[in-house]
A and B are shown apart, each in its own frame.
Chain A
Amino acid sequence: MEELANLFHGFAVALQPYNIMLMIIGITLGVIIGVLPGLGGANGVAILLPLTFSMPPTSAIIMLSCIYWGALFGGAITSILFNIPGEPWSVATTFDGYPMAQQGKPGEALTAAFTSSFVGALFAVIMITLVAPLVASFALRFGPAEKFAVYFLAFCSFVGLSKEPPFKTIAAMMMGFALAAVGLDSITGQLRLTFGVTELLNGFDFLIAVIGLFGIGEILLTMEEGLAFRGGNAAINLRVVLQTWRELPAYWMTSLRSCLIGCWMGITPAGATPASFMSYGIAKRLSRRCNNFGKGEIEGVIAPETAAHAAGTAALLPMLSLGVPGSPTAAVLLGGLLIWGLQPGPMLFVEQKEFVWGLIASMYLGNLAGLIVVLTCVPIFAAILRVPFGIIAPLILVLCAIGAYSVHNSTFDVMLMLVFGVLGYLLKKCNYPLAPLVLAIVLGDKAEEAFRQSLLGSQGSLGVFFSNGLVSTIMALGLVALFWSLIQEGYSRLRTSMA
């Protein structure tokens, strides 16, 4: 009951006119970011994060999370109208969304996509409302060893569930840890890995890395392709919307299944992209009209969109309750919390009630506002895509430079951003995943601190990570996640030899 009262208090915070205005601005910016090639949710949030330094933390997180929702919505617009997935999690939406648009049904496809996104997000927010406080109160009992075990689980999940080669994931992740270690050691106060360079005293800021790796890196990749846009018309009106809404309840089973897949993948943290693919694959296998998938089947739009939004939203659950983000964008948001002086994790629910519940309430309202904004403004957003890349690209590059400079008011950071940009381009071309790298830069310090504190308590014995049921279970889950592909391979070999 106390949670309900807190939630209503959160609604009161989120419904303040200033916050509603930020919500609308955030959604609009987010959709633009989602629509533009070369800008993703994580990158958009990172570029705009410095703008929020002067705002109160609750307002800032409302705006940033709304940019996130907006980016999730925006990806669907480009996928359906132009067959260009603005975001990786929108790739599965192109399979059926684009054929639908070509068959003269862009309105139906867009309405189905937006509504499914809303349903997925709503399901995940309800789950967060009910579960997050429980997880947080449970996590309050965590000591350093348990904390490290949770980080261990998060990092192992990236290695085990990533579709990239595991040793490339490990190399990328360890590079993130190494970059996070540069500068002042928080425990001993000693300088390390700076090699006498004064600019490195404060270490590498994850925002600079994100803007470079994602923003500049994506632009370079796009330049290589010499991308040319051919925009179509986005005819969407009230009649089409209402007609599609009448059809959607028939697919309730697909929606529910996709919601569950999305929530699970968001928390674990596999993220929105695998969630959308998995949901699409399962819907195709189980649907009565499976032969129509890939040719313009509305169920093929509902399944990935619902799962992607449910995953994207559910990724905030571990971030809020444990301090471990479930997605790169959640990692950037987590970095924001640290900058505002808030400590993400279970204590947030105790010490910063207004902030947490304001954010949760804004998730409900932000998604509703998002649905209204995207349904009414699709033609305008689609028009952005008709602006040629030759104009958009330099503007994005200038925005990235402004974003990087604003972090510490330092031009050295802007140069660093470019270095990260070229690195991001090369890493992506060589199939090294960027998400674990960013996650390790954000969480490296905290994981190291928990690791060293645990060892300090146990006089250097690694047995501390298996000293009680809770920590042993989390560590075991981490090891299972780490070796997941080997376990799967072994299992399938066993089945073949048995057969």
Chain B
Amino acid sequence: MTERSGSGSGPAHKTLEIGMALLIAAFGLVVIFGSLKAGINWGAEGPRAGFFPFYVGAAIVGASAINLWHAQRDDDGRLFAEWGQLRQVMSVVVPTAIYVGSMPFIGLYVASMVFIAWFMRWLGGYRWLTTIAIAVGMPVLTYLVFERWFLVPLPKGPLEEWLGL
């Protein structure tokens, strides 16, 4: 991992540090709230279910408060990442989210084929022949290795049903 203060523009590292500390603190508050619901006092069976997580939540909030203080105090002008870099990251996150979201409906194999093909063609700029060879080859290999060899069932969709797999 590298963080560089390049010449380009992008979100400040400080902003992200603060955001992250606040996000973690919010998570800590959710943990505290959930623990209170489960009970944090002493019951017939000893400390109740929320006892341990309550203090864990309190520690998260406490540590985040200190991290927030540090984040606000230390500003070295670094960038979190340049906008171009973030675009690159999002160009993977968004399609992966679509890939993962479509899996329950069209199955893992078809989703993987489309995903690999999209990735190679759009981001990698490969020729159609190479793209199709890998996009089809990988799921076929996956089927043989996982389902046939290791007997691990993977999610299937209408196509596999139609093929009788």
Contacts and interface: CB of A to CB of B under 8 A. Distances in A.
Contacts of A190: 38-39, 48-49
A22 to B, nearest CB: 12
A406 B42 contact: no
A238 interface: no
Interface in B36-78: 37-39, 42-43, 45-53, 56-57, 59-60, 63-64, 66-67, 70
B89 A178 contact: no
A171 B142 contact: no
A397 B47 contact: no
Contacts of B50: 192
Most buried by A among B16, B39, B92, B150: B92
B110 interface: no
Contact of B142 (A220, A402, A429, A451): A402
Contacts of B52: 177, 181, 448, 451-452
Chain B interface secondary structure, helix, strand, loop or mixed?
Answer: helix
Contacts of A395: 116, 134, 138
B9 interface: no
B59 A394 contact: no
B142 A390 contact: no
B16 A426 contact: yes
Nearest to B52: A448
A216 interface: yes
A409 B108 CA distance: 12
Given A178-B57, A190-B38, A401-B108, A224 B89 contact: yes
Interface stretch (A2-10, A307-315, A373-381, A414-422): A414-422
B1 A219 contact: no
B11 to A, nearest CB: 11
Contacts, number: 183
A411, A421, A451 — which one has the most chain B CB atoms within 10 A of its CB? A411
Given A167-B67, A224-B85, A418 B20 contact: no
Given A402-B142, A405-B154, A456-B47, A393 B56 contact: no
A188 B49 contact: yes
Given A178-B31, A429-B16, A455 B47 contact: yes
A174 interface: yes
Given A54-B150, A452-B47, A219 B92 contact: yes
A175 interface: yes
A429 B88 contact: no
B9 to A, nearest CB: 15
B46 A401 contact: no
A430 B100 contact: no
A216 B96 CA distance: 10
Contacts of A170: 59, 63
Interface string A51-89: 101100000000000000000000000000000000000
A405 B47 CA distance: 35
B46 A456 contact: yes
Interface in A210-242: 216, 219-221, 223-226
Contact of A406 (B38, B126, B154): B154
A1 interface: no
A192 B56 CA distance: 14
A394 B120 contact: yes
B153 interface: yes
A250 interface: no
B14 to A, nearest CB: 10
Interface in B145-162: 146, 150-155
Given A388-B124, A402-B142, A397 B96 contact: yes
Interface in A166-197: 167-168, 170-171, 174-175, 177-178, 181, 185, 187-188, 190-193, 195
A50 interface: yes
B120 to A, nearest CB: 6
Nearest to A170: B63
A49 B45 CA distance: 36
Contacts of B115: 394, 397-398
Contacts of B120: 390-391, 394
Most central of B17, B35, B59, B138 by chain A CB within 10 Å: B59
A220 B67 contact: no
Nearest to B69: A167
A429 B56 contact: no
Contact of A193 (B1, B38, B89): B38
Contacts of B56: 174, 177-178, 181
A192 B49 contact: yes
Contact of B20 (A390, A397, A409, A430): A430
B144 interface: no
Interface of B: 1-3, 16-17, 20, 24, 27-28, 30-31, 34-35, 37-39, 42-43, 45-53, 56-57, 59-60, 63-64, 66-67, 70, 80-81, 85-86, 88-89, 91-93, 96-97, 99-101, 103-104, 108, 112, 115-116, 119-120, 123-126, 134, 138-139, 142, 146, 150-155
12 contacts: A167-B67, A168-B67, A171-B24, A171-B64, A181-B31, A394-B119, A397-B115, A401-B108, A406-B152, A418-B100, A448-B52, A453-B46
